[in-house]
Structure 1
């Protein structure tokens, strides 16, 4: 997949670039995300999404752990450590939800779906391990944005299946904005951050397109 870098103006910071990409490429307005976050989502669709999210983001090490271990951007290490702790809690939440929703709903084309989800997970792992300074940082900055939408779906599943909803452990958006802007303080890092963010958003869109297609196949 070839990603076109967004246009970069002289006064544009790295976080602003990530936010611009989120508006056009993030999953917040994806129809299936909105459908599952609605008041009465379909139980099978919720279960399918929880299983897919667990397969993609529920394993250790997660993306922040991988990026922390890779140490491609030394000045991001403190921020990555905070996010590693936060996503450890989110993985535990995903595990509880996966147990609560029961088996994966029967869906035509299951083998192809599993291969596609494995591909998304591998692509995200490669982003997090990138040796290019700023690339993993950008991907994880984008993850913190998309995770708010993912969290809305997880919380909808928790309400539906009677699971307690834990507090959101991610740092406030303003803190992340300050950190990412500083980490993109030079043009090369800023470009790498925007590239990593764009790649993360593309993988997430692909995953939610897949889940939407699985809903159509079941119906």
Structure 2
């Protein structure tokens, strides 16, 4: 059976399909300052450290078709990490939502899972995760740009590969059914971690609202 296409994976499992992200829409006015701080803080915990998913994938991928994309993606995500750091500082510290708040530990666990995924020896797995990160980041970047406007931080235009380039690379690399399965596995696992993060952020917001 043929695996679902790259676009289908992003549409089904990407951040755009998450209820909390859909709730934000084009307007973050319904989010509190604490909600905003949560978003940038935990995204920074997950993706703000170097080396990250794309950097690890670059050391695991020897395919010529991926080389130019990886160079652009590595440089582009370095700029995204810098933006995340600026937003995190400007948004201020997060606050606990319960006496036994394990949120930070949970996201550190997610980061460890992504480190393992992006260093996998299974051919196609690491680059699949990197491809999914770049594709999904375009949705996340839109949210970060809105946050930047709200808290007065300049957000320069992203220099990551665009969605079309990224989808084309995924198709080029899926030369065999085994490689396609590995690419999709890496992508799905990355997107699962993003969905888990959004669910955590929504739960924290709901806990604050219920007080």
Q: If the length of structure 2 is used for normalisation, what is the TM-score?
A: 0.90
- Equivalent residues of 1:36, 1:45 under 8 A apart: no
Match of 1:74 in 2: 63
1:27, CA displacement in angstroms?
Answer: 1.3
Given the alignment of the two structures, is residue 28 of structure 1 paired with residue 4 of structure 2, yes or no?
A: no
The correspondence of residues 164-203 of structure 1 with structure 2, limited to 5 A, is 164-203=154-193
Unaligned runs of 5+ in 2: none
* Secondary structure, aligned partner of 1:28: helix
Q: For residues 141-176 of structure 1, give each alpha carbon's deviation from its aligned partner in whole angstroms, at most 9, with x where no partner exists.
A: 111121112112211110110111210211122222
Number of equivalences: 206
- Equivalent residues of 1:30, 1:208 under 8 A apart: yes
Segments ≥4 residues shifted beyond 6 Å: none
Given the alignment of the two structures, is residue 130 of structure 1 paired with residue 124 of structure 2, yes or no?
A: no
Match of 1:8 in 2: 2
The correspondence of residues 153-168 of structure 1 with structure 2, limited to 5 A, is 153-168=143-158
Q: If the length of structure 1 is used for normalisation, what is the TM-score?
A: 0.87
Distance 1:89 1:65 in 2: 13
Q: For residues 32-71 of structure 1, give each alpha carbon's deviation from its aligned partner in whole angstroms, at most 9, with x where no partner exists.
A: 22334532132211111100000000111111111112x2
Match of 1:12 in 2: none
* Secondary structure, aligned partner of 1:215: helix
Distance 2:70 2:96 in 1: 37
1:188, CA displacement in angstroms?
Answer: 1.4
Q: After the TM superposition, which of the residue ranges 27-36 and 41-50 deviates more from structure 2? A: 27-36
Match of 1:99 in 2: 89
Distance 2:52 2:128 in 1: 15
- Equivalent residues of 1:137, 1:196 under 8 A apart: yes
* Secondary structure, aligned partner of 1:105: coil
- Equivalent residues of 2:6, 2:167 under 8 A apart: no
